[in-house]
Amino acid sequence: MSAKNVPKVLDSSFLEKLLSGVKEPAQRDLLEKQLNISVNTFLGFCHAREDQTKFKDGTVNNVEFDGLKRLAKEACKFKGPIIEIGTLFGYSTMALAIGKTKNKSLYTVDSFTWNPIGITSRRHEELTRKSLCFLTETQNVKIIKNSSTDFYAKYDIESPSLIFIDAAHDYESVKQDIEFGRRVQSNIICGHDYNWPGVKQAVEESFGNMIETIGEIWVWREKS
């Protein structure tokens, strides 16, 4: 799908809401194309499936999308990259990319071993890379295919400004994600699906009542 001929499938008022805060015309145009191409790609994969599985789990809602944009903007006050654990199809990645500055690195990590619409790992990865192609080519976004455990073991870059956790939702996995964030001294540690029992237990054991919630996103900030 060419960048010059991207079908517009998103309502203009909805796009305006998603892109609120992005003032530079060239960047707004680029991100609008990214959003439309992502939706087109995703719909193409869904319609190719015979059972027409409905996509209802695993991503952020509109309130949470706006919250991620604000958190990414806040992260730009600090040095270090933004790290997302659990790319899925890249919708939350887009929110983080819209909120951050162009020169700030965003690493999004996924092993592509699970998705809610039942496509193969290869197709899942292909869909996500196509959906995020504009961001990876122009907005300093990098998709890292790896398990979170291996990524954590090999991480040797500067302390991140923000880590967003939205991969496995069992207690042990979320606890490991949080421990990584604290070990590398991330300024902001946040994650999705606070309503899941395992997530809630890990978050409350780690941070007590020192968190903010945005929908089902939980947020902890290092005290200055």
CB 135 within 8 Å of CB 97:
yes
pLDDT tens track for 145-181: 999 999 999 999 999 999 999 999 999 999 999 999 9
List the beta strands (DSSP E) in the chain: 82-85, 106-110, 141-145, 162-165, 188-191, 212-214, 217-221
- 108: in domain: yes
Residues 110-121, mean pLDDT to the nearest whole number: 91
Q: Which of 154, 135, 156 is nearest to 72 (CA)?
A: 135
- The pTM of the full predicted model, rounded to 2 decimals, is 0.80
At residue 223 the predicted structure's pLDDT band, cuts being 50, 70 and 90, is confident
125 is in which domain, residue-wise? 12-221
Phi, psi of 222 (to 5 degrees): -70, 135
Identify the weakest region by mean pLDDT among 8-22, 40-54, 87-101, 202-216.
Answer: 40-54
pLDDT tens track for 71-108: 999 999 999 999 999 999 999 999 999 999 999 999 99
pLDDT at 16: 76
CATH number of the domain within which 151 lies: 3.40.50.150
pLDDT at 174: 98
Residues 130-158, mean pLDDT to the nearest whole number: 95
- 5: in domain: no
Statement: residue 55 has pLDDT above 80: no
Specify the amino acid at residue 129. Answer: R
- 210: in domain: yes
- 125: in domain: yes
- 2: in domain: no
- 155: in domain: yes
Statement: residue 4 has pLDDT above 60: no
Number of domains in the chain: 1
- 58: in domain: yes
pLDDT at 51: 45
- 7: in domain: no
